[in-house]
Amino acid sequence: MRLTVSDERWPIAGAFTIARGSKTEARVVVVEIEDGGLVGRGEATPYARYGETVEGVLAEIELVRAAVEGGLDGARLQGLLHAGAARNALDCALWDLEAKRVGRPGWALAGRAEPGPVETCYTISMGEPQAMAQAAAKAAHRPWLKLKIGGPDDLARVEAVRGAAPNSKLVVDANEGLSFDDLRRLAPELVRLDVRLIEQPLKAGEDEALEGYVSPVLLCADESLHTRAELAACARRYGAVNIKLDKTGGLTEALAVDDEARALGLKVMAGCMVATSLAMAPAMLIAQGAAVVDLDGPLLLARDRDPGLRFEGSIIHPPVAALWG
């Protein structure tokens, strides 16, 4: 087998802003594993929040190059690299390669039902309330909007978006930007504004305060949930978990997290980083039956891969084999 790794830059349409900062491009790492003329591909996004850089992820992949080119499979990969972007890119490429080898789609290899179309959230970046209202007005036809919050004007932000998009279902994502007092003060107001879910209100590692708190709005763990190791704690603090392949370190662990989360009675949100359709495609398996789907990464880019996922408004169709799986 032959491993090829590349660093790609994809411009964002405008800017993408959350509580921790803003960016104008998505830098992704793409892995291709070739065997006998067949090529499996995977894409991952290094995330500074977890101490990842593009250079660091590239170096991490190089550490296992010999093992990959010697015939490493997905099961053995799990023990060689920690959960993160490097393992995600390799894991998804191995799934894609195996699908091509045996002539069966990725969903069948995973023992899942054939995926169907899903309806994704569309993200409104954090900004001044008026700017967020303008962005929401342009997206008011979309059934789900996700707002980035995490500052002193949060209530004004949500009110502005609700006014501009009265018929959309709303999700708010604080990206760890609230205190517990902020949350308790804000949550009843979000009920009034018909917000369906609050994503990661408190800092990961400081969310023990949520144990025993009965939130009037469904709380969802994001930064607090990476792999199955965190699920028990999340089940005591949240009603839902956001499963992202860059956090789980690939589709293999994501599928296991999905199964265990549902067994614990947690609702599932299928999430993503800002990336191309190649990164979203394997996550479509997690999106099936999820309470909330947030796989809008390609919609936020100035352009996407060709072929990419087919979007009809906010509806995402399953990937064709030429893209992944």
3-state secondary structure of 108: helix
Sign of CA dihedral 314, 319, 324, 325: positive
The answer to whether 138 is a known catalytic residue is no
The answer to whether 148 is a known catalytic residue is yes
Phi, psi of 216 (to 5 degrees): -75, -10
Q: Which of 23, 138, 146, 148 is catalytic?
A: 148
Q: Which of 100, 146, 244, 247 is catalytic?
A: 244
Check if the beta carbon of residue 270 is closer than 8 Å to that of residue 243: yes
Which CA distances in Å does 51 have to 47, 60, 145, 229? 7, 13, 29, 19
CA–centroid distance for 248 within its chain: 10
Task: Name residues whose C-beta falls within 8 Å of residue 253's C-beta, 6 or more positions apart in sequence.
Answer: 78, 83, 91, 227, 228
294 vs 269: CA distance, rounded Å: 7
Strands (E) across 163-217 are located at 169-173, 195-199
Give the catalytic positions in this structure: 148, 244
